[in-house]
Structure 1
C-alpha cells in the first residue's frame, strides 16, 4: 500500500529528519539512505521497517545536519587562541616584511598552516557520536505515520471495494429475476422439439428422457447463484477482519469469478450473458484494488 510519514527533531546539537515513502508492491523492497555514523545500524533499521510495514516499495531517508556552532556556550570566540595567533602574525610581519593582511590570507590558503586545538577536535568527535537510542523514537514516529496513512487509505479502499461488490449483487438479482423467463423459453423450445421428434419412427423414449435430464441439469444455475451469494457475504465479512486479509480476499475473489463464469456458460441466454459481463467488470476492479491491500 502507498504511505508517507515524516518525523523531525531539532536540538542545539543537531537536526534530524526521517522521511519514509511507500508504494504498492507484492513484497518488501526497502531502500535506505543513512548518515555514515549509522551504517552499523542498517540491519536493525531494516528489521524494524520490515516488521512494521510488511510489504511495499519503501524508501527511507534519514537526514542528519549539525548547526555551524553546535555546543557553544557563552562566547563563541577563543580569545586566548586568537590573541596568540595575532601576536605570531605580527612577529612574522617583522621577519618577512609582509603585511598582516597578506599573512592572514596566506595562513588560510596554505594547507596545514593552521592547527585546530585538541579540545576542539574532541568536541567535534563527541558531536558525531549521537546515540542511536536518541534517534530511535524518531524512526518509530515516522513508521507510525506511514501506517496511519495506510489505514486512512484502507478505509477509502474498503468503501470503494464494497461499492463494486454491491453492483455485483444488483446484477445477480437481475439474473435471478430473469431466470424464470429463461427457463420458460427453454421449456417452449423443448416442447417444439418434442413435437417434431415424437413423430419419428426412430424415436426412443428412454434415450430422449436421459437427454432431457442431462440438458436441464446443464442449464440449471441455481447452485451457482447460491454459492455466489455465499462468496459475496464471506468477502464482506473478511473485509472487516482486524488482521491483514489481502491474500484471503484474493482467494475469495477467485471463487467469485469461478461462479460468475459458470453462470455465464450454463445459462445460454443473451440477457444473462450481458449481466455476467457486467459482474466480471466489477470483479476486475475489485482484484485491482486487492493488490493494494496487505
Structure 2
C-alpha cells in the first residue's frame, strides 16, 4: 500500500511518528518510528536478535530518508498459530516482572498492564531460527517504508504549523521595526541637546568652541548611526522568509539567519539611546526568542 506525501514541502518538523503493521506467516509484525529534535542524526533501533545482521542496512535507510533528528525504530513481533518460530525468554521476563513490580510499588502505581509491557521489552521474544528469512526481511522493509511515509506525512503536517508560526513572528518583528524611523530625528536632537547641556554645565557655555563642538557631534552621531543595521536587518528578515519557502526544509540555515537577525537587533538596542526605540527592540527580541525555540525543532 502506497502513501502519498509531498516530496517537497517547505518547512518540516523534526518531530514525527509513523507506524505500519502486517502479518507474515504466523507472525504479526509492527514497525513504529518516532523522532525528536536533535542537532545531528541519531538512530536507535530495537529489534529481535534474529534481525541484527540487517541493522546496518536498516539504519542507513532510516538515515537517508529522515535526514536529521533523534530517530527511534521499534519492532513489535506477535506470534500466533500452531507453528511457532518464536518463544518467550521466561527467565528474562521474570526479571523484568520483578523490577517492574518493585518500581510500581515504589511509585504507588498499579500493574494491570504489566504483561503487555513485558512483552514489548528488548529480547523477550526470542527467535527459534538462526538466520533471517530473506522473504520475511523483504516484507519487513516494506513495512518500514510504509512507516517512514507515515512519519514524513506527520513531519509535513507539523511543519505547516511551524511555517505559520515563523511567518507571524517575522511579520511582528517587521511591524516593530517599521516604527523605528519615526523616532530617529527626535533621538538625534535628544543626544545633541544632552551633550550640549552637559558641556555647558561642566565647562561653561562661553568656553565651548562651537565649530569643534559641531565636528565632534557629527563624529559621535556617525558612530551611533543605525542605517547599516536597519538595512541588514531588513535583508535578514526577507531572507528568512525566502528560505522558509524553499522546496526543501532548511532548519539549520534558518537557525543561522535568526542569529544574524538577533545580532542586528542587539546593535540597534545598544545604539538607540531612546526609550521608545528600546521598547521596540525589546518587542523584537521577544518575537525572535520564540522563533529560535521553534527553529530547534525544524528539519
> In terms of Rg, which structure is larger?
1
Structure 2 portions without partners, runs of 5+ = 1-13, 85-127
CA contact (8 A) 2:26 2:81 kept: no
> TM-score, structure 1 length as denominator?
0.74
Q: Which residue of 1 aligns with 2:76?
A: 63
Q: Equivalents in 1 of 2:191, 2:18: separation in Å?
A: 61
Q: Equivalents in 2 of 1:268, 1:200: separation in Å?
A: 28
Instruction: Pick closer, same or farther for the CA change 1:125–1:192 going to 2, 3 Å.
Output: closer
1:163-178 map, 5 Å = 163-178=168-183
Q: Which residue of 2 aligns with 1:79?
A: none
CA contact (8 A) 1:12 1:70 kept: no
CA contact (8 A) 2:44 2:71 kept: yes
Say yes or no: does 1:29 pair with 2:42: yes
Q: Which residue of 2 aligns with 1:200?
A: 206
Q: Which residue of 2 aligns with 1:10?
A: 23
CA contact (8 A) 1:37 1:129 kept: no
CA contact (8 A) 2:251 2:296 kept: yes
Q: Which residue of 2 aligns with 1:49?
A: 62
1:133-152 map, 5 Å = 133-152=138-157
Task: Quote how far apart the aligned CAs of 1:42 are.
Answer: 0.6
> TM-score, structure 2 length as denominator?
0.73
Structure 1 portions without partners, runs of 5+ = 72-123
List per-residue Cα deviations over 1:26-85 (Å, max 9, x = no partner): 1222221112321110100010111111222222111223322359xxxxxxxxxxxxxx
Of 129, 133, 138, 1:129 maps to 133
CA contact (8 A) 2:50 2:131 kept: no
- The Cα RMSD (Å) is 2.6
Instruction: Pick closer, same or farther for the CA change 1:193–1:35 going to 2, 3 Å.
Output: closer
Q: Which residue of 1 aligns with 2:228?
A: 223
Q: Which protein, 1 or 2, shows the higher relative CO under an 8 Å CA cutoff with sep ≥ 6?
A: 2
Q: Which residue of 2 aligns with 1:289?
A: 294
**Structure ranking higher in helix proportion:** 1
